[in-house]
């Protein structure tokens, strides 16, 4: 009997050890600058040049299309919650088309958590099929944690991101194309300017209380010749003002913020999540009334604390896309233990990591596939200013690779770096170098 029990124990130990060997490995902490992925990406960055066009005027159009599902869909954000119980806010696809008579750039914003590569590819293929006069598509999301799912295929999508529903993808695709047609049809001559508003005590560092934050509301202001006005704005506070167990469909504070701007000042407003990594919203509660109050305060400070206004006088449009190679996936199970890369990659699928960069006059938009931390923004902005550029950084560009936070955060026991820094360590320094390189291009 004792011999049989010992045999069972040894078999169990053997199975556990075997699973450990098959499923786990150690975190790769080798110098990233010696790795092929780094050398490959830097080589592409050095050889890549933006496509530039010079026009004679600004031509701008926009649209706001309701994209609320006909039937309740899975909520995406925080953790799987199932279908929403009610609609607190309708969900919209917002489109801004900026042209200079030579090229057109489309800026798309969705009230979604992320833009998955599959959805982005479907939309880009449809734009081609429709033969729309769009030369570059710049994806963004509000990053609401109470938006719909259903647009992410694969195992990870099923487990954590609301699964896959072809009707949801078709709906988002159709609404996007409808919005592009509408924005193109109402393009008109316009004047553009860039402005920045400083907010006070509305953004906090979610992990290191004394570390830096990005408290600025950055805005592209547009006024058509016919007097209609539009606003493209970014902010870095995470849209996590609603409770984790909240079961309504909502765009969180960005929805109320653009509504407020449209009610009070503009005919149209579009929000894109900024450098949201490690940046939280300083709200007073987690109920809908607190969400509205936070949006009201962002609006109020955004209108009264304008620290910079800069007209956009040249009619230059430029764009480029930089594919990003990464080290093998490093999903952390412990300080020095990771899940085997092939398991993570088979569950999540292709990340299609890249940067998009778009120049509109003297405004440089840079969009990341990773949720870059707002702690990087001050240095990036200073570098851009030294080159005569006004910088706007957004996220959720049609690729997704988790969080990009400062390297010193990597071994902290925080959700963003423990569970969501999928390709670290050293990605903070790596991404800083890449964005610096994009800013230094011949714009």
CA atoms within 13 A on the CB side of 13: 6
3-state class of 69 per DSSP? coil
Q: Are strands 92-99 and 104-110 parallel, antiparallel or unpaired?
A: antiparallel
Q: What is the pLDDT of residue 5?
A: 55
Q: Are strands 51-54 and 147-148 parallel, antiparallel or unpaired?
A: unpaired
What is the Cα 164 distance to its own chain's centre? 20
Dist. CA 214–CA 374, nearest whole Å:
5
DSSP string covering 312-371:
--S-EEEEEEEE---PSP--EEETTEEE-HHHHHHHH-----EEEEEEETTEEEEEESSE
Q: What is the pLDDT of residue 159?
A: 73
CA atoms within 13 A on the CB side of 54: 3
**In the block, which residue shows the tokens 């075997």?**
18
| Residue span of the structural domain in which 140 resides | 1-443
Residues of the chain with pLDDT under 70: 1-23
Using an 8 Å Cβ cutoff, are 64 and 228 in contact? no
DSSP string covering 358-412:
EEETTEEEEEESSEEBGGGHHHHHHHHHHTT-EEEEEE-SS---BEE--GGGTTS
Dist. CA 431–CA 443, nearest whole Å:
20
Q: What is the pLDDT of residue 20?
A: 44
Q: Would residue 81 be called left, alpha or beta, if left means φ above 0 and alpha means ψ between -120 and 50 degrees? A: alpha
Dist. CA 437–CA 384, nearest whole Å:
11
Dist. CA 294–CA 281, nearest whole Å:
8
Q: What is the pLDDT of residue 12?
A: 47
Domain count, the chain: 1
Q: What is the pLDDT of residue 219?
A: 98
């Amino acid at each position: 009997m004792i011999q049989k029990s010992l045999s069972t124990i040894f078999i169990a130990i053997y199975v556990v050890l075997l699973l450990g060997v098959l499923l786990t490995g150690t975190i790769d902490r080798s110098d990233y600058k010696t790795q092929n992925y780094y050398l490959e990406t830097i080589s592409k960055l050095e050889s890549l040049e933006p496509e530039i066009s010079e026009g004679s005027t600004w031509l701008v159009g926009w649209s706001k299309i309701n994209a609320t599902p006909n039937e309740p869909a899975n909520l995406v954000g925080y953790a799987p919650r199932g279908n929403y119980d009610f609609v607190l806010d309708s969900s919209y696809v917002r489109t801004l088309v900026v042209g200079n008579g030579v090229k057109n750039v489309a800026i798309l914003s969705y009230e979604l958590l992320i833009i998955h590569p599959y959805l982005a590819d479907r939309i880009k293929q449809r734009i081609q099929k429709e033969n729309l006069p769009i030369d570059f598509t710049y994806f963004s999301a509000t990053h609401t944690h109470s938006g719909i799912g259903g647009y992410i295929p694969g195992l990870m999508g099923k487990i954590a991101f609301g699964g896959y529903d072809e009707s949801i993808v078709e709906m988002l695709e159709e609404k996007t194309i409808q919005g592009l047609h509408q924005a193109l049809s109402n393009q008109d001559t316009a004047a553009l300017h860039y402005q920045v508003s400083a907010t006070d005590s509305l953004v906090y560092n979610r992990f290191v209380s004394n570390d830096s934050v990005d408290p600025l509301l950055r805005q592209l202001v547009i006024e058509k010749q016919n007097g209609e006005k539009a606003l493209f704005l970014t902010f870095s506070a995470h849209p996590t003002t609603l409770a984790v167990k909240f079961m309504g469909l909502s765009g969180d504070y960005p929805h109320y913020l653009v509504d407020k701007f449209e009610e009070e000042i503009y005919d149209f407003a579009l929000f894109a999540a900024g450098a949201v990594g490690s940046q939280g919203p300083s709200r007073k509660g987690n109920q809908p009334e607190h969400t509205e109050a936070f949006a009201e305060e962002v609006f109020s400070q955004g209108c009264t604390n304008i620290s910079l206004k800069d007209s956009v006088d040249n009619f230059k449009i430029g764009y480029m896309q930089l594919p990003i190679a990464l080290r093998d996936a490093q999903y952390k199970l412990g300080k020095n233990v990771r899940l085997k890369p092939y398991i993570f990659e088979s569950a999540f699928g292709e990340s299609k990591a890249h940067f998009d960069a778009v120049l509109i006059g003297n405004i440089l938009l840079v969009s990341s596939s990773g949720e870059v931390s707002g702690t990087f923004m001050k240095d990036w902005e200073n570098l851009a200013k030294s080159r005569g550029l006004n910088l706007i950084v957004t996220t959720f560009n049609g690729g997704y690779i988790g969080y990009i936070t400062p390297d010193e955060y990597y071994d902290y026991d925080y959700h963003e770096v423990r569970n969501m820094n999928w390709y670290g360590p050293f990605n903070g320094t790596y991404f800083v170098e890449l964005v610096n390189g994009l800013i230094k291009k011949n714009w």
